[in-house]
Amino acid sequence: MTGVVETSAPASAGPMTVAITLPLSDEAGAAKFADSVSKPGNRLYGQYLTPAQFAAKFGANAADYAAVTAWAQAQGLTLHEASTARTLLSVAGTRAQIERAFGVTFKYYKDNKTGRVFPSATSQPSLPSDIAPRIDSVLGLSRRVGFAPKLRRAPANAVRPATAGGTGAGGAYAPADFRTAYEIPQMAATGPAETLAVFEQGGYFASDVTTFVKANKLTMPAVTPRLVDDYGGGVDDPDVELETVLDISTLIGITQGNASILVYEDGEDYGIALIDSLTAMADDDKASIISISYGEDEALAGQKQMVAEHRALLQLAAQGQTVLASSGDSGAYGDEGFGLNVSDPCSQVYVTCVGGTTLFTGAHEAYNLENAWNDLASYDGATGGGVSSMWALPKYQLQPDSFTPGQSVAAPNGGSNTFRNVPDVAADADPLTGAAIYSQMNGGWVTVGGTSLASPIYAGFLATYDQVLQIVGKPHVGFFNPALYDIGTTILGYYANHDVRNGTNGDANEYGIPGYSAGYNYDLVSGWGTPAAPDMLNFLLSNVTGDKHPPVDATDLTGGMTGTTISLTWHAGKKVPGYIVELINPYAGTILATANTVGTSATFTGVTEGLSYYAVYLYSISGTGSTVAAPLYVQAPSK
């Protein structure tokens, strides 16, 4: 190993957790099924499986799993996380027990970069002849990567770029600012419930989230810890605590507290924590949308780790659970800074990878412009993005144009026709245009960025879309990329996304290799761009439903404004289960606020634009598409 030196074992070398993995019985079949249920227009679209059904169709051999479990128990190892699909068994024991069971010897090393001391086996595991053929890998015998959050704090002497900034502490962005900039609708308070999940490598102080919620006048949803690998909870690391608070607070802020949140906490080394948590998320089958703000270079993760993650992600896709992950904060070079690297799990085929931008807003946080986030020259941070060295080009990244057979959507901007290109989408990540997050142990209000911020922003937007789908009786979003690329590769993509065309994620002077550049349509810096939410919602809905028989418009839209509140009512359209309402600045054509609702009324509060009148557009949505009624113009009260 490079960058490490051998050292003595720490005095407090405690128990170790090791993950044993088994192959799926039909991995090709599982992939074909996951692709089919995720593709709008496919006859299987939305026909998701339960964990038990996935195990029955594609799970690992039951006899093999039983034999491995019995062997582990005979070695005196404690069983931690098990897998319904029988692809993973996590076991714990002392260092001596692990050495004896797996036929290895450990040495300890110190990482020169982080100063962290970690164990690593000096050889590959050696297992009994009746056990070895039943498994395909043992993970966790090297612990070099401890914590792997993808966040960046704004430096104390930071100078904000030319943007009006936000309404949060210190002029940073608050949740309402992101909802305004990306025009993300308010979720229907009485609509279908949404359950979101985040992966974390440790605990957090709930009081920090409470402070954030109160300061931003939000509703506190149910936030429930789900402890993985018998984790005892508690706060182990300031960066992880800040990361956890960032993830939870951002999801609450974007969804306005209308979605409950499961916090999968695992204090193990990063690789073990991630695969065990992904497996737990799949087996629990509770979260419709999952956000992961962690990652490590593919080269560090290694093939066996990534294959194990891939199987869990296959199960999640087959069950209709959406997974998003951060693209990384070290530009095109990865955390090691040697050559071009991309981050796992962001580069996984069944993950929507979220890159980072610098967000510029104008008065009242209205969207203005975004560039690729790149502070490599001054603050050592930039959006991740590039080409996977592990995963082949997925079908959804193929250009549908018949004149360019076999060409990927990434090729025009320097991407690969052979391997997976990342990211898929993006959102604000620059710490200089970051979010105001509260963490007492980190000094109170902190301005935070990194793609750790971008992932939960986009996850919150998808929660809004998922609720719209539930309102009109459609399945959950599921694996998002096929629908995303369907829209991106048509003219609709221009309207559904803010196309980020400026900037790079490299610094050739510092690293000797240029990174990737933003450009028209898809690029390896921002993917398809950031959400222009109302258009994206309507295009996605039409793509899913086929828009064959649009719903009948709602009628008699009326409303008025009192003080800073606009109240609206209408008569229901025929067979219309829900509506999207947009409040527009008619002078500039910008969307000031949007809302989902299942009723026939809506209220916009805190309207402080100071205009003489406002325009309201009402979209009737159903399982066959959406239509929009003629706009209503609401007069502002005289001053």
DSSP string over 528-583: T-EE-HHHHHHHHHHHHH--SSPPPPPEEEEEEEETTEEEEEEEPPTT--EEEEEE
pLDDT grade, residue 11 (50/70/90)? low
Amino acid letter, residue 531: P
pLDDT at 336 exceeding the cut of 60: yes
pLDDT at 626: 67
**Domain boundary, last residue among 544, 561, 593:** 544
Largest CA distance in the chain: 85
Task: Report the pLDDT averaged over residues 409-418.
Answer: 95
Higher pLDDT, 135 or 544: 135
What pLDDT shows up at residue 178?
94
The fraction of the chain above a pLDDT of 70, given in percent, is 92
Backbone φ and ψ of 343, nearest 5°: -100, 135
Q: Are residues 290 and 433 in the same domain?
A: yes
Domain assignment present for residue 567? The answer is yes
More confident residue, 397 or 230: 397
More confident residue, 149 or 137: 137
Q: Which of 132-141, 224-233, 385-394, 529-538 has the highest mean pLDDT?
A: 385-394
Same domain, 181 and 305: yes
Interacting residues of 130 by C-beta distance below 8 A, sequence separation 6+: 67
pLDDT recorded at residue 619: 80
Summarize the confidence of residues 380-391 as an average pLDDT: 95
For 25, 57, 69, the CA distances from 86, given in Å and listed in that order, are 10, 12, 10
Confidence at residue 589, expressed as pLDDT on a 0 to 100 scale: 67
Cis preceding-peptide flag for 15 (omega within 30 of 0): no
- On the question of pLDDT at 1 being above 60, the answer is no
Is 48 part of a structural domain of the chain? no
Structure pTM? 0.89
Query: Cα separation of 136 and 133, whole Å?
Result: 7
Dist CA 508 CA 568 (whole Å): 55
Report the distance separating Cα 194 and Cα 258, nearest Å: 7
194-200 and 259-265 strand pairing = parallel
The band of 204, judged by pLDDT with boundaries at 50, 70 and 90, is very high
- Domain membership of residue 52 (yes or no) is no
Residue type, 263: V
Check residue 600 and give its pLDDT: 86
- Using pLDDT thresholds of 50, 70 and 90, give the confidence band for residue 146: low
Interatomic CA distance for residues 407 and 401, integer angstroms: 9
What is the structure's pLDDT at 550?
61
What type of residue sits at position 427? A
Instruction: Please say whether the beta carbons of 442 and 546 come within 8 A.
Output: no
How much is the average pLDDT of 176-182? Answer: 91
Domain annotation covers residue 39: no
Q: Note down the domain range covering 565.
A: 549-635
With respect to residue 29, please indicate whether it lies within any of the assigned structural domains: no
The whole-number average pLDDT for the span 319-339 is 92
With H, G, I as helix, E, B as strand and everything else as coil, classify residue 89: strand
**Tell me, what's the pLDDT at 4?**
65
394 and 504 in a single domain? The answer is yes
Q: Is the pLDDT of residue 402 over 70?
A: no
For 454, phi and psi rounded to 5 degrees? -60, -40
Above 70 in pLDDT, residue 116?
no
How far apart are alpha carbons 147 and 355 in whole angstroms?
A: 20
Phi-psi region of 46 (alpha: psi -120 to 50; beta: other; left: phi over 0): left
Range in 83-87, 212-216, 235-239, 429-433 with the lowest mean pLDDT: 235-239
**Rounded-to-integer distance, Cα 133 and Cα 111, Å:** 34
Grouping H, G, I as helix, E, B as strand and the rest as coil, residue 36 is helix
pLDDT bucket at 113, cuts 50 / 70 / 90: low
Phi-psi region of 480 (alpha: psi -120 to 50; beta: other; left: phi over 0): alpha
Per-residue pLDDT of 440-476, as tens digits, reads: 999 999 999 999 999 999 999 999 989 888 887 888 9
Q: Which residues contact 516 (CB under 8 A, 6 or more apart)?
A: 332, 385, 386, 413, 414, 415, 504, 505, 506, 523, 524, 525
* Position 257 confidence tier, pLDDT thresholds 50, 70, 90: confident
* Average pLDDT of the residues in 2-28: 81
SS3 at position 122: coil
- The answer to whether residues 308 and 251 belong to one domain is yes
Say whether pLDDT at 541 is over 80.
no
Strands 343-344 and 296-297: antiparallel
How long, in residues, is the chain? 639
Cβ atoms of 12 and 120 closer than 8 Å: no
Last residue of a domain, which of 544, 569, 587? 544
Q: Please report which confidence band the pLDDT of residue 625 belongs to, taking 50, 70 and 90 as the band edges.
A: low
**CA distances for 465 relative to 262, 316, 471, 544, 577, angstroms:** 19, 19, 10, 12, 15
Residue 392 has pLDDT above 80, yes or no: yes
pLDDT value for 468? 83
Q: How does DSSP assign 236-263, residue by residue?
A: --HHHHHHHHHHHHHHHHHHTT-EEEEE
User: Distance between CA atoms of 318 and 49, rounded to whole angstroms?
Assistant: 6
269 lies in the same domain as 397: yes
For residues 174 and 166, is the Cβ–Cβ distance under 8 A? yes
Buried b (16+ CB within 10 A) or exposed e, 476-515: bbbbbbbbbbbbbbeebbeebbbbbbebbbbbeeebeeeb
The CATH number of the domain holding residue 397 is 3.40.50.200
Mean pLDDT for the chain?
Answer: 89
Average pLDDT over residues 561-586: 84
On whether residue 40 sits in a domain, the answer given is no
| Domain boundary pick from 480, 511, 544 | 544
pLDDT digits (tens, 9 = 90+) for 479-502: 999 999 998 888 777 778 899 999
Q: What does the pLDDT average to over 173-186?
A: 89
Same domain, 535 and 456: yes
Shared-domain flag, residues 446 and 399 = yes
Inside any domain, residue 147:
no
- Domain co-membership, 501 together with 609: no
The single-letter code of the amino acid at 23 is: P
Contacts by residues 608-612 (CB-CB < 8 Å, ≥ 24 positions apart): 608/364, 608/564, 609/364, 609/585, 610/636, 611/585, 611/586, 611/587, 611/636, 612/636
> First CA to last CA across the chain, in angstroms?
71
* Structural domain contains residue 498: yes
pLDDT at 393 over 90: yes
Instruction: Name which of 425, 424, 416, 414 is nearest 393 in CA terms.
Output: 416
Cα–Cα distance for residue pair 517/343, rounded to 1 Å: 18
Backbone angles phi, psi at 227, to 5 degrees: -80, 125
- The whole-angstrom separation of Cα 538 and Cα 533 is 9
Neighbouring residues of 225: CB distance < 8 A, sequence distance ≥ 6: 203, 233, 263, 265
The region of weakest confidence among 5-14, 356-365, 385-394 is 5-14
553 and 404 in a single domain? The answer is no
Shared domain check, 554 and 527: no
Examine the domain organization and report whether 359 and 455 are in the same domain.
yes
Residue 142 has pLDDT above 80, yes or no: no
pLDDT at residue 635 tops 60: yes
Residue 523 DSSP code: B
Q: What is the CATH number of the domain that holds 609?
A: 2.60.40.10
Claim to verify: residue 212 and residue 99 sit in the same structural domain? no
* Tally of domains within the chain: 3
Identify the pLDDT of residue 366.
83
Closest CA to 228 of 184, 169, 291, 270: 270
Is the previous residue joined to 345 through a cis bond, with omega within 30 degrees of 0? yes
Rg (CA), the chain: 24
| CA distance linking residue 312 with residue 211, whole number of Å | 35
Residues 625, 546: Cα–Cα separation, whole Å: 7
Question: What's residue 524's pLDDT?
Answer: 98
Query: Helix/strand/coil (H, E, C) string of 146-201?
Result: CCCECCEECCCCCCCCCCCCCCCHHHCECHHHHHHHCCCCECCCCCCCEEEEEEEC
